Chains A and B, each alone.
Chain A
């Protein structure tokens, strides 16, 4: 079993829809990362959170430490949001070695 599981693996939606991507992990963590990867490989860090909720523009990330679960939400989705979204957690609490989920490929159609 992978330490980090994401769902769904693929998601296609229409422009304007509310998007939710889920991440469950099995290790104890100090912080969880959400990353965005566009075609061509570039990875951008979206959020790093250790509790509660963070918001940046149309992106919202939440985490429930007790349930070992995090969600990434996109409101008013747009075709430019199409990318692979990856969550990552440190394998050992406080360590820098990250374990990554397999990614969720999001396609937003106009």
Chain B
């Protein structure tokens, strides 16, 4: 069956531009997670959705970052006024409901963002 997919796989943009990163979770997974991974580091939590709502957005670094999941399936991570420090791999994961204990998370291949 289809896993988690992310588009684009690579994105190069200029400082100050706006970017959108898309995540298609596994069908039927109600929980969706965004992470950011800088070179040589482990992933860093950004935001977690349960259904359409952001259950925990405490990892978003500042108000330039925003994520939506309007229909409880596909999610878009939006970054305004990009900065060079935003360059990283953005990972998405999904799982079955996260409301009853830890669930195995299934990761997408990531979007590699480079801000010049």
Residues of A within 8 A of B (CB): 4, 30-31, 33, 35, 40-45, 48, 50, 86, 88, 90-91, 94-103
B56 at the interface (CB under 8 A from A): yes
Contacting residues, chain B, for A88 (C-beta < 8 A): 42-43
B112: which of A41, A91, A95, A98 is its contact (CB, 8 Å)? A41
* A45 in contact with B106 given A96-B33, A97-B48, A101-B42 (CB within 8 Å): yes
Tally inter-chain residue pairs, CB-CB below 8 A: 71
Give 10 closest A-B pairs by Cβ, nearest first.
A100-B42, A43-B107, A31-B102, A96-B98, A41-B110, A102-B42, A100-B43, A45-B104, A97-B45, A103-B42
Contacting residues, chain A, for B102 (C-beta < 8 A): 30-31, 33, 48, 50, 90, 94, 96
Residues of B within 8 A of A (CB): 31, 33, 35, 37, 40-45, 48, 50, 55-56, 58-59, 89, 91, 93, 98, 101-107, 109-110, 112
**Contacting pair A45 B107 (CB below 8 A):** yes
Distance between Cα atoms of A44 and B107 in the complex (Å): 7
B41 CB to nearest chain A CB (Å): 6
**Contacting pair B43 A30 (CB below 8 A):** no
